[in-house]
């Protein structure tokens, strides 16, 4: 049973470039969440998606950040024109359903470094 | 106001001893879930234990147990018989059933670094 798969694990970008982070949820999971972890901090919710739908993007910066979860393929978190402050670990998590029961499984994270 | 508070930036414990990591939460939602995750130095987030707000008994998973005191709004993690491999960052998190919709998202605390000494 493959877990939540994220790639790339490490990504280096120069200021102004674009970063694309991919997440394949666990088999049978249709709910995907993206979180950001700045150095020395806890994870902060960014966005919650189901297939082809953004359900809650209340944690997403208003500009430069976007997320999608197409019918086929992985979920993508896209950061345009990256700045040094975007350097962080980006975690994807998936769950089978909703509600307050059940586990949320995390991927190993993608670590973005902006030079 | 902080929704999840972990007041211990760092904790030390002797191998084979038990340790309690504190977590208090704040919510007006009657239905919520509390989680603990472990983040070793390699960076991945490892799920440890879950407690639902309506669960009558404290959750246990092997050496991990959750001391859930609903009236005090605390959900402390107890690790029994600590091992060197338990050295890591530990995060407490809460998921609320937001306003009638059935989805939730996790709010994390700042974390506690646990160091297990031989």
For residue B69, the model assigns a pLDDT of 96
For residue B98, the model assigns a pLDDT of 61
B31 contacts in A (CB within 8 Å)? 100
How many Cβ contacts (< 8 angstroms) between chains A and B?
73
Q: Which residues of chain A from 8 to 37 reach within 8 Å of chain B, CB to CB?
A: 31, 33, 35
- Distance, in Å, from the CA atom of A14 to the CA atom of A69, rounded to the nearest integer, reads 26
- Distance, in Å, from the CA atom of B85 to the CA atom of B38, rounded to the nearest integer, reads 11
Quickly count helices (H) and strands (E) in chain A. Answer: 0, 11
Q: Are B104 and B34 in contact (CB under 8 A)?
A: no
Is the pLDDT at B92 greater than 90? The verdict is yes
Interface check for B31 against chain A (CB to CB < 8 A): the answer is yes
Is the pLDDT at B29 greater than 90? The verdict is no
Q: Which residue of A has its CA nearest to B92?
A: A42
Higher pLDDT, A95 or B75: B75
Contact B45 A42 (CB under 8 A): no
């Amino acid at each position: 049973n493959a877990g939540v798969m994220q790639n790339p694990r490490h990504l280096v970008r120069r200021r102004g470039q674009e970063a694309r982070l991919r997440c394949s949820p666990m088999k049978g999971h249709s709910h995907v969440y993206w979180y950001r972890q700045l150095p020395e901090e806890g994870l902060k919710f960014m966005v919650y998606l189901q297939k082809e739908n953004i359900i809650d993007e209340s944690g997403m910066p208003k500009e430069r950040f976007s997320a999608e979860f197409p019918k086929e393929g992985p979920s993508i978190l896209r950061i345009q024109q990256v700045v040094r402050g975007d350097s962080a670990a980006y975690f994807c998590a998936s769950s089978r359903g909703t509600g307050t029961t059940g586990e949320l499984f995390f991927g190993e994270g993608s670590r973005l470094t902006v030079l | 106001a902080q929704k999840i508070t972990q007041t211990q930036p760092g904790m030390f414990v002797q191998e084979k001893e038990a340790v309690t990591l504190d977590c208090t939460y704040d919510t007006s939602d009657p239905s919520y879930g509390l989680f603990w995750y472990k983040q070793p130095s390699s960076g991945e987030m490892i799920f440890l234990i879950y407690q639902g707000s309506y669960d009558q008994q404290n959750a246990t998973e092997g050496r991990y147990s959750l001391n859930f005191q609903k009236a005090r709004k605390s959900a402390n993690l107890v690790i029994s018989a600590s091992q060197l491999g338990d050295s890591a960052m530990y995060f407490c998190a809460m998921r609320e059933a937001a306003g009638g919709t059935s989805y939730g998202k996790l709010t994390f605390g700042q974390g506690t670094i646990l160091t297990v000494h031989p």
